[in-house]
Amino acid sequence: MKRMKKMKNRGSDFITTEDLKAAYTVVQNSPLCIRTPMIHRCQQAFSIEENVQLHLKLENSQTTGSFKVRGLANQMAHLPKAVVDGDCHVITMSAGNYGKALSYAANKLGIQATVLMPKTAPDNRAVLMRGYGSKVVKVDVSELQSKVDEKVANEGMYFCHPFDDLHLIAGHGSVGLEVLEDVPNPDIVLVCCGGGGLLAGTAAAIKLHCQTPCRVYGVEPKTACTMFQSRVKGDAVTDHTSHSIAAGLSPPYAGKNSFAHNKAFVDDILLVSDSEIISAVKLLYKAGLKVEPSGAAAFSALMHHKVPNVSGKTVVVVITGGNVSPEELANIFDI
Compute the average pLDDT of residues 84-103. 94
- pLDDT above 60 for 3: no
Compute the average pLDDT of residues 240-264. 93
End-to-end CA separation in angstroms for the chain = 48
Residue type, 320: T
Provide the whole-model pTM: 0.93
CA–CA gap between residue 199 and residue 255 (Å, rounded): 11
Do residues 168 and 74 make contact, with C-beta atoms less than 8 angstroms apart? yes
Distance of CA 334 to the CA centre of its chain: 27
CA–CA gap between residue 210 and residue 184 (Å, rounded): 7
Share of the chain above pLDDT 90, in %: 87
Compute the average pLDDT of residues 105-126. 91
CA–CA gap between residue 103 and residue 244 (Å, rounded): 24
Mean pLDDT of the chain: 93
* pLDDT interval class at 12 (50, 70, 90): low
pLDDT value for 212: 96
Name residues whose C-beta falls within 8 Å of residue 250's C-beta, 6 or more positions apart in sequence. 95, 194, 221, 223, 224, 242, 243, 244
DSSP label of 309: S
Residue type, 278: I
- pLDDT above 50 for 2: no
Nearest to 317 by CA among 291, 335, 286, 282: 291
CA–CA gap between residue 233 and residue 319 (Å, rounded): 28
DSSP label of 170: H
Angle CA(233)–CA(237)–CA(242) in degrees, nearest 5?
120
Using one digit for the tens of pLDDT, what is the confidence trace for 62-86? 999 999 999 999 999 999 999 999 9
Strand order in the sheet with 268-272: 38-39, 53-58, 314-319, 188-192, 215-221, 268-272
Compute the average pLDDT of residues 185-214. 97
Which strand (E) or helix (H) includes residue 117?
strand 113-118
CA–CA gap between residue 57 and residue 32 (Å, rounded): 18
Q: Return the higher-pLDDT residue of 65 and 1.
A: 65
Nearest to 236 by CA among 266, 257, 264, 265: 257
Alpha carbon separation from 272 to 222, 277, 293, 306 (Å, rounded)? 6, 7, 11, 8
Residue type, 110: G
Residue type, 23: A
Return left, alpha or beta for 312; rule: phi > 0 is left, psi -120 to 50 is alpha, else beta.
Answer: left
